[in-house]
A and B are shown apart, each in its own frame.
Chain A
Amino acid sequence: MLTPWLSWICALLLIAGLYGGLIYAPPDYQQGESFRIIYVHVPSAWMSMFVYVLMATAGGVGLIWHIKIAEVFAKSCAPLGASFTFLALATGSLWGKPMWGTWWVWDARLTSELILLFLYLGYMALQSAFDDRRVAARASAVLALVGLINIPIIHYSVEWWSTLHQGATVTKLDAPSIHIDMLIPLLIMALAFKLYFFTIVLIRSRTEILEYECNSKWVSDLLNETEVSK
């Protein structure tokens, strides 16, 4: 019931964010128009971390209290998180080419984002390796939690490593202060991405629950109803 509302608000925000980002915001004095990639890059990067934390937490809740909804939620998070991570990487690379002159630099953020993508892929691979849903959910929850503990360590180590290996060429990316006209669209976009995530996760979770509970009475009732109404 929530999904249509969420999706409408999300669509509105997306349009607003796009308008703000692509048209309203003034070009950056240093990077010109190319900085507009920020409006897809940064929200994706934010979401990639956010989704992982959410996924691991939900997995942990499911593991400890055996709550099915939490297991389903965690499972639905994974592909979305992976796509956000992929987007952050791809757009980061596309941004890096004109700015740094290469597609890829071994920058701390890019590298830890890449490792995050591997963590997501490992999670999804493990999830699909099990035949039984409940066992899969619990096993991958353990993995997600181990990954969650590792994320700060990975981030920290990569940061330390990259500062030792190269100068401050990357600081171009994080301009010390961002103009308010640039910031507002960014926040709108971030919010839009967040809503988008929740909308899709809801859709995914509902399908999952339906499959999970395929033996229970309410599912068969529901299906009978839809069949009658057709």
Chain B
Amino acid sequence: MVVQEFFHMGGYAFYVWTSYALTAVVLIFNVVQPLIRKRKSKRDLIMRLRRNLR
């Protein structure tokens, strides 16, 4: 019952949970994106290095 109430948010569930979900999505995206970029740029640099060595 308590859990249900919690998720119900006094009738404002849609607004509250959308806000939090949106925040979560944006924050997670901002973690993942730089990490992917880091990996990619490292790979690019290693490729470059190999090219230069040859």
Contact = CB atoms under 8 A, between A and B. Distances in A.
A91 B21 CA distance: 10
Interface of B (DSSP majority class): helix
Contacts, number: 82
Interface residues of B, number: 28
Contact of A95 (B15, B23, B30, B41): B15
The A interface is mostly helix, strand or loop, or mixed, namely helix
A91 B12 contact: no
Interface string A208-230: 00110010000110011011000
A34 B10 CA distance: 8
B45 A23 contact: no
Contact of B10 (A32, A83, A87): A32
Interface of A: 22-23, 27, 32-34, 36-37, 40-41, 44, 79-80, 83, 86-87, 90-91, 94-95, 97-98, 196, 200, 203-204, 206-207, 210-211, 214, 219-220, 223-224, 226-227
Given A95-B15, A211-B45, A214-B48, 17 more contacts: A27-B10, A33-B12, A34-B9, A34-B16, A36-B16, A37-B20, A40-B19, A80-B30, A87-B23, A91-B22, A97-B15, A203-B38, A204-B34, A210-B41, A210-B42, A220-B49, A223-B45
